[in-house]
Amino acid sequence: MEDFIEQMRNDHREFDKGNLEGYFGNEPFDLFTKWYSDAFISQPEPNAFVLSTAGLNNFPSSRILYLKELLDKKFIFYTNYKSQKGKELHLNPKAGMLFFWPGLQRQVRIEGIVEKVSEEISNDYFKSRPRGSQIGAWASSQSEFLNDRSDLEKNVEKYAKKFPRGVPRPPHWGGYELTPLLIEFWQGRPSRLHDRIIFEWYGNEWKAYRKNP
């Protein structure tokens, strides 16, 4: 363990993959689209992001999800509405997203307000999921106590028999859309003097500014 800690302490890698010199666009979505396209070409699971939520106890909780769509400048993901994150978003619809693409030495941090998408959007996406994932959405009481793995497997068998052909979307499962109020682009730079450009929404327009690394 001491060797492992020493190895971490001595990790002084340099950041030299790019910069944001001179970049201040009128809004953040062109840059996000470009960065996402770069990540899609070169990074594993480029649509993976950390979603952070908080409930009434004000403790943040985070987990990895997948961005599924960017519609009308809103970031869309799907989950069980009765899960921990679903319950927390019901109590506090403010959330944070974080994309990290290490091979490009880039991060994108997003803060915003979350709402459920329409049932039509949720239905369309659910139809595109593999059958096993559709059955799983019925079988799993996400984030609830599970006495034994076999209980989950029995539920899978139960719903596989109940829906031998098409699987309808469970009413407790669907999409959320995050409307961003702040988007920060982080590009690693040498000597830890990283580029940080923030776009913040001020009612009717985006304003961009830099922050110290």
Residues 6+ apart with CB under 8 A from 183: 28, 32, 108, 109, 110, 198, 199
**Which amino acid would we find at residue 114?**
V
Count helices and strands (H / E) in the chain. Answer: 6, 9
- Between CA 72 and CA 146 the distance in angstroms is 38
Ramachandran region, residue 68 (left: φ > 0; alpha: ψ -120 to 50; beta: rest): alpha
CA distance 59 to 48: 23
Measured distance CA(162)–CA(159) in Å, rounded: 5
156 neighbors 139 (Cβ within 8 angstroms)? yes
- Give, for 77, the enclosing helix (H) or strand (E): strand 74-80
Catalytic residues: 192
Q: What is the dihedral of CA 70, 75, 78, 81, to 10 degrees?
A: -150
